[in-house]
Amino acid sequence: MGSSPARLDPGQILLFDADDTLWENNIYFERAIAAFISYLGHQIHSAEEVREHLNACERATIAQHGYGLRSFRRSLLACFEQLSGAPITPEKHERIASFTDIVAKHQIELLEGVVDALPELAARHRCLMVTKGDPEEQRAKLERSGLSQYFAAIEVLPEKHEDAYHALAQHHGCEKAITWMIGNSPKSDINPSLAAGLNAVFVPHGRTWVLEHEEINRPHAGRRLVQCERFLDLTLYF
Ligand SMILES: [Mg+2]
């Protein structure tokens, strides 16, 4: 992890994750899931067991249909059907689907320091937004966030794995030695970008989605991994 911050030369390429890096995201899913679990009101399985089953449903749905709200809705419906052991009536279907409105309809809540640091970073460096999920949903959130002006390009990838970072670096002409992936997810932001030979900045978020947890690996020789506890601290390095 980084120790003594010394600001790097201007002209670095900063790749920003969006969900839970620039703005709150997972907390809305957590609220929707809590509402779902209480609606299911399972007689045998505990809330933790229901949650674990939902995680399994989510892994399966994502593998087949990718990320995004439509996938999340499918996962809730599958979980309900499997645990209640009965087909879902149209009324129940509608009620379960309505829990995803908690995620769909919230205001964009920028994380602390973003509104101050991002303009400064964008003035000194080339900033790209690199997120995953449903392209329409992610672009709509960026629009609502008011942050579009700071990004030279937007990439919404189906999955953020090592190959995706190789392809992205090539596509956008990112010299790897001066390219940094910045995000909250060890699994999607940090480990695959380090594996692809980029530098990375881990900005932890206390409510990171459990499916994104992973132990952090080491960077390639000559590359760096920095941890910033606060988004604003990015301005100490960049
Ligand atoms: Mg994220």
CA distance 114 to 118: 6
CA distance 67 to 135: 10
Counting the structural domains of the chain, the total is 2
Q: What is the distance in A from the centroid of ligand 1 to the CA of 186?
A: 9
CA distance 79 to 105: 23
Mean residue pLDDT of the chain comes to: 94
The reported pLDDT for the residue numbered 8 is 96
pTM for the full model?
0.91
Sign of CA dihedral 113, 180, 132, 124: positive
> Given pLDDT bands bounded at 50, 70 and 90, which one contains residue 7?
very high
73 and 180: one domain? no
CA distance 143 to 160: 22
How many C-beta neighbours within 10 Å does residue 48 have? 9
Q: What is the distance in A from the centroid of ligand 1 to the CA of 185?
A: 5
Residue 3 pLDDT exceeds 60: no
Residue 51 pLDDT exceeds 70: yes
Q: What is the distance in A from the centroid of ligand 1 to the CA of 190?
A: 10
194 and 96: one domain? no
Sign of CA dihedral 153, 186, 228, 204: positive
Q: What is the distance in A from the centroid of ligand 1 to the CA of 15?
A: 12
Q: What is the distance in A from the centroid of ligand 1 to the CA of 134?
A: 14
Domain for residue 8, yes or no? no
The residues, ordered by sequence, that sit 6+ positions from 198 with a Cβ below 8 Å of its Cβ are: 15, 165, 169, 174, 176, 179, 180, 181, 223
Domain for residue 2, yes or no? no
78 and 152: one domain? no
88 and 175: one domain? no
Residue 177 pLDDT exceeds 90: yes
> Given pLDDT bands bounded at 50, 70 and 90, which one contains residue 24?
very high
| Sheet of 13-16, strands arranged across | 153-157, 126-132, 13-16, 179-183, 199-202, 225-227
Domain for residue 3, yes or no? no
> What is the CATH classification number for the domain harbouring 100?
1.10.150
Nearest to 70 by CA among 134, 17, 159: 134
Q: What is the distance in A from the centroid of ligand 1 to the CA of 24?
A: 9
Q: What is the distance in A from the centroid of ligand 1 to the CA of 168?
A: 17
132 and 84: one domain? no
Q: What is the distance in A from the centroid of ligand 1 to the CA of 177?
A: 23
Q: What is the distance in A from the centroid of ligand 1 to the CA of 43?
A: 34
What would the pLDDT profile of 100-145 be if each residue is shown by its tens digit? Answer: 998 988 899 999 999 999 999 999 999 999 999 999 999 999 999 9
CA distance 231 to 22: 8
> What is the CATH classification number for the domain harbouring 183?
3.40.50.1000
Q: What is the distance in A from the centroid of ligand 1 to the CA of 93?
A: 29
Q: What is the distance in A from the centroid of ligand 1 to the CA of 91?
A: 33
Q: What is the distance in A from the centroid of ligand 1 to the CA of 180?
A: 15
Q: What is the distance in A from the centroid of ligand 1 to the CA of 148?
A: 17
Q: What is the distance in A from the centroid of ligand 1 to the CA of 77?
A: 25
**Where in the sequence is the domain holding 91, given as residue range(s)?**
27-104
Q: What is the distance in A from the centroid of ligand 1 to the CA of 30?
A: 14
Residue 4 pLDDT exceeds 70: no
C-beta separation of 43 from 84 below 8 A: no
The reported pLDDT for the residue numbered 75 is 97
What would the pLDDT profile of 164-175 be if each residue is shown by its tens digit? Answer: 999 999 999 999
What would the pLDDT profile of 192-219 be if each residue is shown by its tens digit? Answer: 999 999 999 999 998 888 888 999 999 9
The DSSP result for 127-185, as a single string, is EEEEEES-HHHHHHHHHHHT-GGG-SEEEEES---HHHHHHHHHHTT--GGGEEEEES-
